[in-house]
Amino acid sequence: MWDEHVPRKNNSQMITKKTFPIKGIHCASCVYTTEKALKNTPGVKDAVVNLATTKATVTYDSDDCTPEQLADSIAKTGYALELKEKNEEIQEQEKKKELKILKTKVIASLFIGALIFWGSFPGLMNTSPPFLRNFFLQLLLATPIQFWAGLDFYKATIPALRNRTANMDTLVALGTTVAYVYSAFVTFLPKVVMNLGIDHMPYFDVAVIVIGLILLGRYFEAKAKIGTSTAIKKLMGLAPKTARVLRESKDLPAGRQEIDIPIDQVQINDVIRVRPGEKIPVDGIIIEGDSSIDESMVTGESIPADKTKGDTVIGATINKTGTFTYKATKVGQDTMLAQIIKLVQEAQGSKAPIQRLADIVSSYFVPIVIMLAFLTFGVWYIFGPSPAFLFALLNTVAVLIIACPCAMGLATPTAIMVGTGKGAEHGILIKDAESLEIAHKINTVVFDKTGTLTQGKPKVTDFEYMNDVEKLTKLNKDYILSLATSLEKGSEHSLSEAIVSYGNTESKKYNVKNFNAVAGHGIKGTVDERKVVVGTKKFMEQEKVMRCAELDKSADKLTSEGKTLAYIGVDGKNVALAGIQDTLKDTAVEGVKALQKLGIEVVMITGDNKRTAEAIGRKVGIKRILAEVLPDQKEAEVRKIQTEGKKVAMVGDGINDAPALAAADIGIAMGTGTDVAIEAADITLVNKDLRTVASAIDLSKKTMRTIRMNLVWAFGYNIILIPVAMGALYPSFKILLSPIFASVAMATSSISVVANSLLLKRYKI
Amino acid sequence: MSADKILVALLSLAGMAFTYWFFLMKKDEVVMVSDAVDIIVEGGYSPSAISIPIGKTTKISFLRKDPSSCLEEVVLSEFKIRRYLPLNKKVTIEVTPKKEGTFPFSCGMNMFHGKIIVK
């Protein structure tokens, strides 16, 4: 967030110029106050505060003044000077710098390596200019590469050895140093080598080209690794920078003014205005206006959502059509986007159980390779053909260079990073790597019915009257409906709500007297001086309501369709019948089908009676139904399925069914509004699209497949190529691995692991 | 077998034994931490083993002095933390362990290791 200019000595002063963000400034007076405070701080030469960027650029003598003192001065004025630079920004800057330096080193080492190779490779050296064949010139060319381009290997090796640890750099430093020191020895003391019966050829090309190729591999690896964390950066980049807040102002005729403030200054209950095409700054509830909102970037839901007064809006989503004002309900780290980022970061910091073997191997790997290098040298020197010393030397270098612990270290985390990031982009939030690993084994998915498979809001699907009702009872249909809705208004039961919302807006509202609700049966009362009863068949019998033959017939039909019935009686006669059903979500059928296509058994769990549950099951394509299960029994039902040897995922809303979600091997909470941090859930699906359940399981399968491929590659590579470098193929096939080829293989190995993980990005959800 | 071969054989064996002793028989010195600890990241972690109390928030500050990209990230998988360590800038991580045990931490590539002992 802040730029540091290189400090320069000026009349024995250390003048430094730095830029710091200031929190809380929003007017010219704030600028004046903060500037004055900064200028009055001892050691400060100049200070300029910019209102538009809300940043202060301060020039100060770093011998007399520290950033902490500047922060203290600002704090006294009631504002805050931010000293902390965002970790992600530093990372990006450092990565860019690292890549630039690497590029220069790669070009220099490969160019010089090629020149030395031309002047020293048998068969090729005859075509080179004579000066390139001069060993001293080769030494002169190789030395800066060894100690400048290869400096990082030494820088990492020396402190590591001090800690009695070793890594990849140790191996490269050892391998190239052996080649370089031997070559320098040959250059200065050729006679000593010749007296030992060894051809006095140096191997500067090996040292230089190996460094060049390994750095080239590291360059590509660093570039590819940036790609593994793009999802999280993309999510972070979604957050808008400012919000247009309506603030009270006595000076204005309207009583309030619109001001743009930085996003981190938005407070709960602030009223924010959003215009078409703008990003919604934080989470909140619409208080005025309506619009269509594109939420795809946060929830993965591709169709824009229509929102009106009272609806929740999510920060960082895009307002498409209308202008509206809303009240902020969640700000800062509590917003949905911030929670998503936190969840993804946590998942990427977790470790998958599959990684355990790689962990154990990598902790012994480098020392074992060094031991194998000693063994190689000894065996080749003692048993190898002539010139045994050169064979021993080159094979030892090849062993040190070809070993690639990086590939093992990168195999799992890179795939986890890409997999969880890919999920987050589509509203699939995976709690940790372990959940991802278990999810790929799921073979049974249990859906909670109400609110998960269905909308959770029962609706009247059928409303039938007795034949010739107007003629026989002298009551018209609208009047009957008005009587029923007037009575139902007094009840909070979800079935009553369904009847009330079915009654059209023109339904008359009558006063209700003697209202009485009988739990589990129905309600009764006097409406417009008539005795009205709404409820079950049994309730009608209790209230001595005369049955109607044709409505009874309809009742059978509706029950067989899985609908709940509400009989309506007026003045002792059953005059109408309502069929009520909780409607399925649009994506329910496709969601279930997608799971079945993956070979997963789908189960529905519900408190409904068997007949109703089965009817819904038929509609949605689920055969195994667990009906009449009370909420506190759901957990036991999940455990019962697990005893059949099944790996169970339970899908629910994460609130009412938290125990069942926790009991399942994988708990999937879905469509949870803006609250995504659900403890009981291993996977949270931000949107309400049931197809994402299958996508989440499929994504876990694909990620695990990538991890397995990576591990097989990383282990296989080392298990096969280290013995080859040691010369295992020499006795039978006379095949040896040149150190240069070893460095090509090594560089390719870790890049292929990262590249394979990046292929996951192509997976379509 | 000639003298030089015997010498090389002995040196190879000695080299292998030394490598084993030097790298694999290293004993970690455990540092007791009550509130906060600074870990220097340079060719590994120093201290590489810390003991922290259960249920209490401990601040662990990592200061990377080593330019090796191997050490640029630290992973405390038990606490679900993967953090980038900028060169020569202290990064403080707060952990509140909920259970006893030994929890390893490592660099992003899993080559350098340390451990947190929760008591």
Give the mean model confidence (pLDDT) for residues B90-111: 90
| Residue range A549-565, pLDDT digits in tens | 888 889 888 888 878 88
Q: How far apart are CA A627 and CA A388, in angstroms?
A: 80
Where are the strands (E) in A402-529, listed by range?
Answer: 428-430, 444-448, 454-465, 512-518, 522-527
pLDDT given for residue A732 in this prediction: 92
- Supply the residues of A annotated as catalytic: 448
pLDDT band for position B67 (cuts 50, 70, 90): confident
pLDDT given for residue A11 in this prediction: 47
Of A98, A222, A405, the CB nearest to B111: A405
CATH number for the domain harbouring residue B44: 2.60.40.420
The fraction of chain A above a pLDDT of 70, given in percent, is: 94
| Residue range A486-501, pLDDT digits in tens | 888 877 777 888 888 8
pLDDT given for residue A70 in this prediction: 87
Q: Do A156 and B43 touch (CB under 8 A)?
A: yes
pLDDT given for residue A85 in this prediction: 59
pLDDT given for residue A430 in this prediction: 93
Assess if residue B16 is contained within a domain: no
Count CB atoms within 10 A of the CB of residue A435.
Answer: 22
pLDDT given for residue B57 in this prediction: 92
User: What residues of chain A lie within 8 A of the CB of B81, using their CB?
Assistant: 346, 349
Assess if residue B36 is contained within a domain: yes
Assess if residue B80 is contained within a domain: yes
Assess if residue B53 is contained within a domain: yes
Give the mean model confidence (pLDDT) for residues A174-181: 94
More confident residue, A49 or A131: A131
> Which CA distances in Å does B10 have to A2, A196, A378, A379?
59, 20, 8, 11
Alpha carbon of B101: minimum distance to chain A alpha carbons (Å)? 17
The answer, yes or no, to whether residue A213 has pLDDT greater than 90, is: yes
Give the mean model confidence (pLDDT) for residues A619-637: 90
- Give me the residues of A, 90-119, that contact B with CB < 8 A: 90-91, 94, 98
The answer, yes or no, to whether residue A589 has pLDDT greater than 80, is: yes
Q: Do A375 and B12 touch (CB under 8 A)?
A: yes
Q: Do B11 and A406 touch (CB under 8 A)?
A: no
Closest CA to A339 of A298, A294, A395, A280: A298
Q: Which two tokens stand for residue A574?
A: 């059953």
Q: Does residue B62 belong to the interface with chain A, where contact is any CB pair within 8 Å?
A: no
Of B12, B69, B104, the CB nearest to A98: B69
End-to-end, the C-alpha distance of chain B in Å comes to: 57
pLDDT given for residue A1 in this prediction: 38
In this structure, what are the phi and psi dihedrals at residue A442, rounded to the nearest 5 degrees?
Answer: -60, 130
Closest CA in chain B for residue A153: B68
pLDDT given for residue A678 in this prediction: 64
Plot region of A316 (φ>0 → left; ψ -120 to 50 → alpha; else → beta):
left
Closest CA in chain A for residue B87: A94
The answer, yes or no, to whether residue A522 has pLDDT greater than 90, is: no
Alpha carbon of B34: minimum distance to chain A alpha carbons (Å)? 24
Q: Of the ranges A86-90, A135-139, A165-169, A747-751, which is most confident?
A: A135-139
Report the mean per-residue pLDDT for chain A: 87
Assess if residue B25 is contained within a domain: no
Interface test with B, best of A94, A223, A369 (most B CBs within 10 A): A94
Alpha carbon of B112: minimum distance to chain A alpha carbons (Å)? 7
Closest CA to A502 of A557, A539, A460, A543: A460
Amino acid identity at A364: Y
| Residue range A422-450, pLDDT digits in tens | 999 898 999 899 999 999 999 999 999 88
> Which CA distances in Å does B50 have to A162, A478, A750, B62, B119?
19, 78, 32, 13, 11
Domain that holds residue B95: 30-118
Assess if residue B60 is contained within a domain: yes
pLDDT band for position B9 (cuts 50, 70, 90): very high
The answer, yes or no, to whether residue B114 has pLDDT greater than 80, is: yes
pLDDT given for residue A7 in this prediction: 41
* Low-confidence winner among A150-164, A512-526, A675-689 (lowest mean pLDDT): A675-689
Assess if residue B97 is contained within a domain: yes
Residue ranges in A40-150 assigned as alpha helix (H): 67-76, 87-120, 135-144
pTM: 0.81
Task: Tally the domains of chain B.
Answer: 1
Assess if residue B19 is contained within a domain: no
Count CB atoms within 10 A of the CB of residue A446.
Answer: 28
Q: Do A378 and B8 touch (CB under 8 A)?
A: yes
The answer, yes or no, to whether residue A674 has pLDDT greater than 70, is: no
